[in-house]
C-alpha cells in the first residue's frame, strides 16, 4: 500500500466543462498546491499550502467555493469519497496535481473501474497509471518561470491551450515545433472574452483543432 499523502481542497460531482470530455459526468478531485502562477487562474485559492488552512477530511467532500483549505488523504481515502458519487469519470486537477506522485491514486481508481483524467500544466513530471488520460494545458512564460517539459508533451493525450490573443497561439506553435505531439489539440478562450473566442474559432476551423468553450461557465455549474 502506498504511503503517498495528497493535500485535497475539494471533492465534488459535476459535468466536465472543458476539452474532449466536455459533457461527461465527473467527480473532481482538486489538489492543493501550485507555483506556476497563471495570471488568469480561477483557482488561486489552491496555490498555497499553509498549515493554518488544514482541515478535516470530511470537510472537503463538497465544493470549497474558493476557500483556501486542504485536508490530508491517502489514495484509499480518496477512493472512498469518490465511490459516494454516481460518475465513473474522475478528474484530478488543482492546483498542479503533478506536484504529487499520482501513480497510487490513478492506479487504484483504474482498478476500481474509473476512467481517470489528469489536468496538468506540463511543468512537472507526470507520474500516473498508463491507463489515465492526460489533459495538458501548457503554461508558457508564466510568473513561476517553469518550462513545459518535453516528457509531459509526449505523455499528453490532449493539449488544451488557453488563448487570449494571437501571441498565445504563436507560443503554442513554438512549443509544438520543439515538442511534436500526436495529442488532440483544443483551444480555450480565456475568461469567455469575445475577441479570444472568435480567434479560437477561426484558428480551430483553419487547423482542424477543437474548441474548448468552458461549458460549465456558460450553463452555471461548478
| Residues of each annotated binding site | 15-17, 30, 34, 38, 40-43, 93, 95, 137-139
DSSP string of 75-88, one letter each residue:
HHHHHHHHTTSS--
Query: Distance (Å, rounded) from C-alpha 45 to C-alpha 34?
Result: 10
Residue length, the chain?
A: 222
Give Rg (Cα) of the chain.
17
Q: Enumerate the known binding-site residues for [4Fe-4S] cluster.
A: 34, 38, 41
Torsion of the alpha carbons at 146, 152, 154 and 155, rounded to the nearest 10? -170
The number of C-alpha atoms within 13 Å of 157 and in the hemisphere containing its C-beta is 14
Q: Enumerate the known binding-site residues for Mg(2+).
A: 43
Q: Enumerate the known binding-site residues for S-adenosyl-L-methionine.
A: 40-42, 95, 137-139
CB 90 within 8 A of CB 16: no
Amino acid at each position: 500500500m502506498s504511503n503517498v499523502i495528497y493535500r485535497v481542497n475539494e471533492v465534488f460531482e459535476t459535468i466536465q466543462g472543458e476539452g474532449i470530455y466536455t459533457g461527461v459526468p465527473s467527480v473532481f478531485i482538486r489538489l492543493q498546491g501550485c507555483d506556476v502562477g497563471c495570471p488568469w487562474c480561477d483557482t488561486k485559492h489552491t496555490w498555497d499550502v499553509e498549515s493554518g488552512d488544514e482541515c478535516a477530511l470530511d470537510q472537503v467532500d463538497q465544493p470549497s467555493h474558493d476557500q483556501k483549505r486542504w485536508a490530508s488523504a491517502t489514495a484509499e481515502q480518496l477512493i472512498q469519497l469518490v465511490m459516494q458519487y454516481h460518475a465513473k469519470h474522475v478528474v484530478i486537477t488543482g492546483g498542479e496535481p503533478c506536484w504529487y506522485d499520482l501513480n497510487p491514486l490513478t492506479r487504484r481508481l483504474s482498478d476500481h473501474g474509473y476512467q481517470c483524467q489528469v489536468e496538468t500544466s506540463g511543468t512537472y513530471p507526470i507520474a500516473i497509471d498508463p491507463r489515465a488520460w492526460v489533459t495538458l494545458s501548457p503554461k508558457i512564460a508564466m510568473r513561476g518561470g517553469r518550462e513545459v517539459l518535453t516528457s509531459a508533451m509526449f505523455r499528453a493525450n490532449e493539449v488544451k491551450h488557453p488563448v487570449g490573443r494571437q501571441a498565445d497561439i504563436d507560443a503554442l506553435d513554438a512549443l509544438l515545433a520543439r515538442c511534436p505531439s500526436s495529442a488532440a489539440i483544443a483551444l480555450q478562450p480565456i475568461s469567455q472574452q469575445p475577441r479570444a473566442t472568435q480567434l479560437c474559432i477561426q484558428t480551430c476551423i483553419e487547423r482542424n483543432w477543437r474548441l474548448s468553450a468552458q461549458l460549465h461557465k456558460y450553463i452555471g455549474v461548478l
